[in-house]
């Protein structure tokens, strides 16, 4: 039977290089049916995936460690190449990723501890990955609550409080009150931040809260009856700040607005856009009424191509044209994705409308769709749809339709 793996990260979360002996190495297919090697060491600094936190990455004898899992106190390192049993190895964890995870995780404890203290809500979900950290709570918050918690959390950072992890004796543990997500068995590791939080947790933490840096709640939303917070701590928060600052600076320059007045400037711009759109629609309708004056009257089928008008005017167009002609009229406007096209005979996508005063246009609509890979439909008086074809071919189709 294999003995428990000695967890070096338990004692020293800053340890990134270590030596250990290979206890076993087993060849296995992974979920993609690729051959990988499951390695058990006498000791490890690799923190396995667990409790919502992704595993450490790094190398063992320069072989990449692609995953780390734990089962019954034994830690399994998944490698792409084998190691020899009994071999003494050199392990190196990705220190940057580890420290980032420590900043996020201790930051999460500070927030969860304060939420428990002031709101009595439980932390009911936690995910810590390379890109996002989410924390779920069993209750809801106002915007004011969120900013208050955030401020208290950062106060705890400024106070640079020690973060202490210990395995208390059973008796001491029984008399302690601490946060815990599940019923615990075996030795329980308690992580304490004095005055802020006491929580059962196996993960590596920073030594004191000052190392967490800024704690920022970037979003919060209702989630399963409670709230899901997205948070960024330390260097992640700085990276996020930089991205957002760049974004707001660009808006500021583009709109010639001061940084703190950009939201007002964007609102004004949106209002102007809506008012211009309304004017544009009114003018387009007016323009159509001028255009239709030049359409000859007559009874024979008639095709009209218009490369200037927007396809959302098709219905208005049809109603105006119908008043001037008795026969079938087809109006064709390049579809929105081809709307920049100037007059062409090449096959492009058209939005169309077919209409007539006293003729049922559904049949010709169906045949038009069939001839030009189109789709659409409508009533006896008016059929709308889209087709793809050349102008000449469409004109001929209509002219020859009898």
Q: What is the DSSP string of 4-62?
A: PPEEHHHH-TT--EEEEEEEEEEEEE-TTS-EEEEEEESEE-PPPSBTTBPPP-EEETT
Helix (H) or strand (E) segment spanning residue 390: none
The least distance separating Zn ion from the CB of residue 178, rounded to whole angstroms, comes to: 11
Residue 57 forms beta bridges with which residues? none
Q: Give the residue with the Cβ less far from Zn ion, 42 or 180.
A: 180
The least distance separating Zn ion from the CB of residue 99, rounded to whole angstroms, comes to: 16
Residue with tokens 């703190």: 260
d(CA 260, CA 89): 56
Residues binding Zn ion (CB under 5 A):
201, 203
Comparing CA positions, the residue from 66, 262, 229 lying closest to residue 149 is 229
- Nearest residue relative to Zn ion (C-beta): 201
**Residue 209 in contact with residue 159, Cβ under 8 Å?**
yes
Question: What does the chain come to in residues?
Answer: 402
The least distance separating Zn ion from the CB of residue 63, rounded to whole angstroms, comes to: 29
Q: Give the residue with the Cβ less far from Zn ion, 204 or 213.
A: 204
Q: Give the residue with the Cβ less far from Zn ion, 126 or 397.
A: 126
The least distance separating Zn ion from the CB of residue 53, rounded to whole angstroms, comes to: 8
The least distance separating Zn ion from the CB of residue 93, rounded to whole angstroms, comes to: 18
**Residue 133 in contact with residue 233, Cβ under 8 Å?**
yes
Q: Give the residue with the Cβ less far from Zn ion, 203 or 398.
A: 203
Helix (H) or strand (E) segment spanning residue 350: strand 348-355
Q: Give the residue with the Cβ less far from Zn ion, 196 or 303.
A: 196
For 264, other C-beta atoms within 10 Å of its C-beta total 12
Q: Give the residue with the Cβ less far from Zn ion, 156 or 321.
A: 156
The least distance separating Zn ion from the CB of residue 199, rounded to whole angstroms, comes to: 6
């Amino acid at each position: 039977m294999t003995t428990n793996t000695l967890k070096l990260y338990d004692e020293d979360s800053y340890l990134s290089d270590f030596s250990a002996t290979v206890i076993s190495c087993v060849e296995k297919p992974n979920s993609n049916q690729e051959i990988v090697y499951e390695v058990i060491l006498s000791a490890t600094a690799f923190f396995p995936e667990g409790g919502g936190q992704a595993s450490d990455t790094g190398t063992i004898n320069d072989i990449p460690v692609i995953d780390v899992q734990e089962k019954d106190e034994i830690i399994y390192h998944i490698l792409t190449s084998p190691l020899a049993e009994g071999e003494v190895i050199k392990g190196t964890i990705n220190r940057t990723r580890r420290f980032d995870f420590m900043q996020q995780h201790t930051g999460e404890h500070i927030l969860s501890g304060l939420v428990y203290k002031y709101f009595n809500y439980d932390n009911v979900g936690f995910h810590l990955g390379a890109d996002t950290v989410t924390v779920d709570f069993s209750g809801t918050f106002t915007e004011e609550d969120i900013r208050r918690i955030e401020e208290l959390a950062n106060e705890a950072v400024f106070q640079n409080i020690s973060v202490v992890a210990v395995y208390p004796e059973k008796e001491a543990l029984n008399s302690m009150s601490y946060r815990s997500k599940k019923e615990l068995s075996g030795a329980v590791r308690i992580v304490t931040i004095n005055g802020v939080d006491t929580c059962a947790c196996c993960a590596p933490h920073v030594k004191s809260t000052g190392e967490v840096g800024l704690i920022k709640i970037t979003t919060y939303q209702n989630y399963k009856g409670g709230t899901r917070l997205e948070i960024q701590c330390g260097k992640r928060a700085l990276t996020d700040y930089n991205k957002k600052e760049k974004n707001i600076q660009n808006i500021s320059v583009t709109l010639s607005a001061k940084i703190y007045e950009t939201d007002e400037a964007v609102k004004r711009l949106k209002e102007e856009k809506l008012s211009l759109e309304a004017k544009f629609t009114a003018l387009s309708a007016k323009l159509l009424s001028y255009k239709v004056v030049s359409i000859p009257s007559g009874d024979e089928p008639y095709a009209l191509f218009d490369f200037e008008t927007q396809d959302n005017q098709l219905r208005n167009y049809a109603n105006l044209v119908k008043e001037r002609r008795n026969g079938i009229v087809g109006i064709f406007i390049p579809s929105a994705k081809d709307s920049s096209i100037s007059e062409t005979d090449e096959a492009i996508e058209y939005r169309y409308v077919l209409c007539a005063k006293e003729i049922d246009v559904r049949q010709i609509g169906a045949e038009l769709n069939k001839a030009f890979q189109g789709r659409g439909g409508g009533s006896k008086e008016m059929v709308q749809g889209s087709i793809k074809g050349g102008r000449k071919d469409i004109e001929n189709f209509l002219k020859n339709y009898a």
